[in-house]
Structure 1
Amino acid sequence: MIIFFISSRDKTPIKIIKDELKGKMKKDQGILDSKNLPKEEQDLLERIEKKTRERNVNNVTRTNAYFEIYQKYPEIHWAFLGHMVSRNGGWNMTDLKGDFLTRLLTKKERNDFFAFIERGNWLIFQDAYPQLLLYSESIKKKKSLFYLLPYMNISTFMESIWNYFWRKSDSYVLTIALVINEQNYLEKRVIQNPIYQKGVLNTIEFKLQDVLSFNHILFPYRKNSLAGQTVHQFQSLHERILLGKRLYAVLFQSKELLNHFVQWANEHRHTGSRKDYWPHIFNNVNEGIPGIPYQLRLNACKLRWGARKIYSPDLSSAWKNVQHQEAEKGDWFSDWKIADYLSEQNETQIIGEIEDEYCKTLERLELTALAKKVITIFN
C-alpha cells in the first residue's frame, strides 16, 4: 500500500499571498492592450503565443510539451503533474474508440465525450503553457517578467503567485495555485457550459462511469505498476481541487517514487494508447476478428488463455486534430479566500494504491460491455 502523510505548513506564506490578493481585488485593471508595451515585450508575447499554438495541436503534443518543461525546470512540479494527468486525458480519449466504450456508447455520445475532454485539455494548455514559457524567459533574462501575465489573459491570481514563487521558490505553493487556477478556469468555460452539461455531464453514461469507477487517474511506474487516485463528483470545483492536491502528493511526497515516475515517463513517450503502460493487456492494433462474438478476456488483470489483447488505439489513429474556437475571455478570480486551498491539511493520509481497484474496474467494464452487446442482439 502506498500511503503519504501531508504535514502542515507555515501559515506565513499563505498570509503574504492573501494580503496581496486583497489588494488586487480593489483594483480594476480592465483589458490591457499589449500595443502599449515596448517593442521587445510585444515580440516576446507574440513568440509565446506562437509557440503555444504550435504545441496545442492535440493531446500528444500538449502532454509532451509539459514534460519538456519539467525536464528543463524540475522546480516547476506542476509541469510533471500536468504531464501525467494529461496522459490520462489522452487515454480517456482513445478509450472512446477502443473495445469497451464502442459497445456502450453511441457514436454521437462518443463524439460528445471526446469534444468535452479535448476542449478542457486544449483550454488548460493555452492558459498554463504560456505561464511556463514566461517563467523560462524570466530565468533567461534573470528578472521577473510576470507583470506581462495580464496581457496574456492570465488570472491576476497567478500574477501574485508567480511573483511569490520568484522570491521564495516554493514549488508546493506554485503547484497548488496552478491546480486552483486551472480548475477555476475550466469551471465556467467547460463544466458550467450548457452544451457540455446537456451532452455529457447530465447523461446517464457519464453517471455510469462513476458507478463503474471508470474514472481513475493512473500514474505508471516501474514495470506494470500503477499508483493514482479515483475521481468522484467531477462537477464539483471543490472536489477537483482536492483531487489535484492528492495527485500532487502521490507524485511528489516520496523522492524514490518520484524518480520511478519520471523514469517511466522518460522511457515511454506518450501515444494515447493504454499499451504505453500495460502492453501485456492492451494493443494499439485491433486483434478482433469481424463477425466473431465478443468473449471475456480478463481475469484478475491477466488475459485469459488464448484471449486477444484489448484494443486501445494511438490518439493519431483514433481522432483527428480539432480546430478550436478562441478561449472565452474573463478573469475567474473574485475572492481572496480561494488561497485557503494553498494550506496543507494536518496528517492527511493519501493512499496511492490503485491497481486492484483498476483491475476490478476493467472487469466490470468488460462485463457491462458484453451484457449490453448481448441485450442489443436479442432486442
Structure 2
Amino acid sequence: MNAKPFALRNLLVLLRKWMTEMSDAGRRMTAGNGQLIHPGSADWHDAQKYFQGILEERLLQQSLVEHSAIKDAPYDHIDASLQQMCDEWCGQIKKETAFYNRNNILRTTAYRKVYEESPELHWALLAHLVSRNGGYNMTDLRGQVGNMTLANQEQDTLFGFLEQCNYLIFQDAYPQLRLYQLGKRYGSAWLPLLRSFHASIFMQAAWNMFMEFGHSPMLTIAQIINEQSYIEKRVIQDPDMQQQVFSAPLFSMQELFHLTSVVFPALDHDGEINTYFGIFMDDFLSLKQRIRAGKVLYNILFQGSAYEPKLELLQFAQKVKHTGSRADYVPALFSKRSDDRARFFSPELQTVWPNQSHPSIVATDWCTKVDVMRELSMMHILPQKAGDITSAYLRKLEEIRTLAQFLPFS
C-alpha cells in the first residue's frame, strides 16, 4: 500500500479534529461573558449617538447628490492657507500607499509603524497581527503540505484570493490612518480629505466621532465593520471568486491552510514564544461572523481582564521580523529550509510569491443604510486569559509533528 496518500488522509483527519476543537473553544469563549452588547456607559452612548447623527446626515446627502459629484468636491471647510498643505499630504499618502501595498510583508510593517506612532489607533496593531496571519496563509500554499495537496493552479487561485483581500483592505484603510496622523495637529480640518481617498461615509462619520470624543474602541469596531464590508461585495460576493475559490472542493482546503484561523504568538520577557492567543471561525464567508471574529480578537488584544496579552503580543510584533514563514513563531515544527526532513517546510513569502499587479479600484460606497449601526457593539470583558489557545495548539502541533515523521515528504 502506498504510504503517502494514507498518511496524508490521516493528517487531514487530524487537522479537521483540531479545527473542530478550536471552534468549540471559540464558542465557549464568546458565550456568557463574551456576549455582544451595546455598552451602557454614557461616553459610549453619547459617542454612538453623535456617530449615528453624522452618518444619517451623510446618507441623506448621498441620496440627493450623485456620488461622482461628492467625491470630486473641493476641500470644503478647509482654510485656504491649508489647501496647499492638504494637497501635499494627499500626494505623500498616495506614494506611501503604493509603496507599502506591493506585498504582505510591507503592508504588515506599515500597520506596525502606524501603531507605534499613534497607539490610540488600536486597529493598526490588530491589523498588523491579522496581516501576519495572512502572510502565513500565503506561504502555506507553497510550503510542504501545499505542494503535496494542491496543483500549482490551485495554489495560484487561493493566493490570488488572499492577496486581493490583503491589498484591498490596505488600499482603503492606510490612507485614512495616515491622514489622521498628518492632520491631527490641525484638529478636524483634515476630515474632508477622506473623500479624496473614497473613504466610505460610514468611516467619514466614524472619524468625525473620533475627533470629537477620542473613543478608540468605537473607532476600532467601526474599522472592523468597514473593512469586512468593503471586501464583502468586492471579493466574497464576486461571481468569479464564488466559482473559482469558494466552490468545493478547493475551498474545503481552508481547514488545512488555516484560512479560518488567526493565531497571535506572545513573546515573553525572556524572548521565548510559549503562549498563543487566537480564534478559529465557524464560517469565514459570513460577513457577520467575520465582524464578530474581529471583535473577539480586539477584545483579546485590548479588553482583557486581569491578564492582558497586549504587551507580549506587541513585543512579538516588534521583535520578531515578519517573513511570512511559520518558522518565525513555531520553529520546532516549521523550517525555512526545504531540505529539512524533520520539520514542515514553510518558506519566506518573498521567495515564493512575487509582487502582484492589481486592477484599478472602482470607487463605490458599501454603506447605504443606517442599519449598519446595529453592528457597532462591543463585548463584555472576557474571562482571565481569554483566547489563550496554547495548550490545545501545541498539543495538536506535536501530533502533526509525530505524523509528519511517517510522511514521505519529497
Give the TM interval when normalised to the shorter protein.
Answer: 0.7 to 0.9
One-letter amino acid of the counterpart of residue 118, structure 1: E
Q: What is the deviation of 1:188?
A: 0.8
One-letter amino acid of the counterpart of residue 124, structure 1: I
| Structure-2 residue corresponding to 1:89 | 134
Structure 1 residue corresponding to 2:175, chosen from 130, 142, 159: 130
Query: Separation in 2 of the partners of 1:310 and 1:210?
Result: 17
For the residue of structure 1 that corresponds to 2:354, the secondary structure is coil
1:242 and 2:287 are equivalent in the alignment: no
| Structure-1 residue corresponding to 2:54 | 20
Cα deviation, 1:187-228, whole Å, max 9, x if unaligned, reads: 011101112111111231312434896632000002232100
Query: Where in structure 2 are the equivalents of 1:107-146 lying within 5 Å?
Result: 107-146=152-191
Q: What is the deviation of 1:19?
A: 2.3
| Structure-2 residue corresponding to 1:188 | 233
Percentage of matched positions with identical amino acids: 34
TM-score, normalised relative to structure 1: 0.86
| Structure-1 residue corresponding to 2:309 | 257
One-letter amino acid of the counterpart of residue 158, structure 1: M
Q: CA contact under 8 A between 2:264 and 2:313: conserved in structure 1? A: yes
| Structure-2 residue corresponding to 1:170 | 215
Q: CA contact under 8 A between 1:9 and 1:344: conserved in structure 2? A: no
| Structure-2 residue corresponding to 1:157 | 202
| Structure-1 residue corresponding to 2:250 | 205
Query: Separation in 2 of the partners of 1:344 and 1:194?
Result: 33
User: For the structure 1 residues 185 and 53, does the alpha-carbon distance in structure 2 shift closer, same or farther, using more than 3 Å as the test?
Assistant: same
Q: Return 320-329 or 200-209, whichever deviates more.
A: 200-209
Cα deviation, 1:36-87, whole Å, max 9, x if unaligned, reads: 4444433321221111101111000000000000000001000000000000
| Structure-2 residue corresponding to 1:300 | none
Query: Separation in 2 of the partners of 1:309 and 1:372?
Result: 11
Structure 2 residue corresponding to 1:320, chosen from 350, 354, 364: 354
Query: Separation in 2 of the partners of 1:195 and 1:187?
Result: 13
User: For the structure 1 residues 363 and 102, does the alpha-carbon distance in structure 2 shift closer, same or farther, using more than 3 Å as the test?
Assistant: farther
Q: Return 317-326 or 84-93, whichever deviates more.
A: 317-326
Q: CA contact under 8 A between 2:139 and 2:324: conserved in structure 1? A: yes
User: For the structure 1 residues 282 and 9, does the alpha-carbon distance in structure 2 shift closer, same or farther, using more than 3 Å as the test?
Assistant: farther
For the residue of structure 2 that corresponds to 1:57, the secondary structure is coil
RMSD: 2.9
Give 5+ residue unaligned stretches, structure 2. 1-24, 76-82
| Structure-2 residue corresponding to 1:329 | 363
One-letter amino acid of the counterpart of residue 109, structure 1: E
Query: Separation in 2 of the partners of 1:111 and 1:365?
Result: 25
User: For the structure 1 residues 213 and 139, does the alpha-carbon distance in structure 2 shift closer, same or farther, using more than 3 Å as the test?
Assistant: closer
One-letter amino acid of the counterpart of residue 317, structure 2: A
For the residue of structure 1 that corresponds to 2:245, the secondary structure is helix
User: For the structure 1 residues 361 and 110, does the alpha-carbon distance in structure 2 shift closer, same or farther, using more than 3 Å as the test?
Assistant: farther
Query: Separation in 2 of the partners of 1:365 and 1:248?
Result: 29
Q: CA contact under 8 A between 1:101 and 1:369: conserved in structure 2? A: no
Query: Separation in 2 of the partners of 1:61 and 1:233?
Result: 28
Q: Return 10-19 or 184-193, whichever deviates more.
A: 10-19
1:285 and 2:345 are equivalent in the alignment: no
User: For the structure 1 residues 362 and 204, does the alpha-carbon distance in structure 2 shift closer, same or farther, using more than 3 Å as the test?
Assistant: farther
User: For the structure 1 residues 26 and 214, does the alpha-carbon distance in structure 2 shift closer, same or farther, using more than 3 Å as the test?
Assistant: closer
1:344 and 2:378 are equivalent in the alignment: yes
User: For the structure 1 residues 33 and 358, does the alpha-carbon distance in structure 2 shift closer, same or farther, using more than 3 Å as the test?
Assistant: same
Q: Return 316-325 or 33-42, whichever deviates more.
A: 33-42
User: For the structure 1 residues 12 and 217, does the alpha-carbon distance in structure 2 shift closer, same or farther, using more than 3 Å as the test?
Assistant: same
Q: CA contact under 8 A between 2:112 and 2:124: conserved in structure 1? A: yes
Query: Separation in 2 of the partners of 1:93 and 1:185?
Result: 21
Q: What is the deviation of 1:366?
A: 7.7
Query: Where in structure 2 are the equivalents of 1:58-97 lying within 5 Å?
Result: 58-97=103-142
User: For the structure 1 residues 361 and 212, does the alpha-carbon distance in structure 2 shift closer, same or farther, using more than 3 Å as the test?
Assistant: farther
Q: CA contact under 8 A between 1:213 and 1:361: conserved in structure 2? A: no
User: For the structure 1 residues 353 and 82, does the alpha-carbon distance in structure 2 shift closer, same or farther, using more than 3 Å as the test?
Assistant: same
Q: Return 81-90 or 329-338, whichever deviates more.
A: 329-338
Structure 2 residue corresponding to 1:44, chosen from 76, 85, 89: 89
Cα deviation, 1:334-365, whole Å, max 9, x if unaligned, reads: 11121122222456669402234434665787
Query: Separation in 2 of the partners of 1:185 and 1:233?
Result: 18
One-letter amino acid of the counterpart of residue 199, structure 2: I
Q: What is the deviation of 1:100?
A: 0.8
1:218 and 2:263 are equivalent in the alignment: yes
How many residue pairs end up in the alignment?
A: 357
| Structure-2 residue corresponding to 1:292 | none
Q: CA contact under 8 A between 2:327 and 2:336: conserved in structure 1? A: yes
Q: What is the deviation of 1:15?
A: 2.4
Q: What is the deviation of 1:124?
A: 0.3
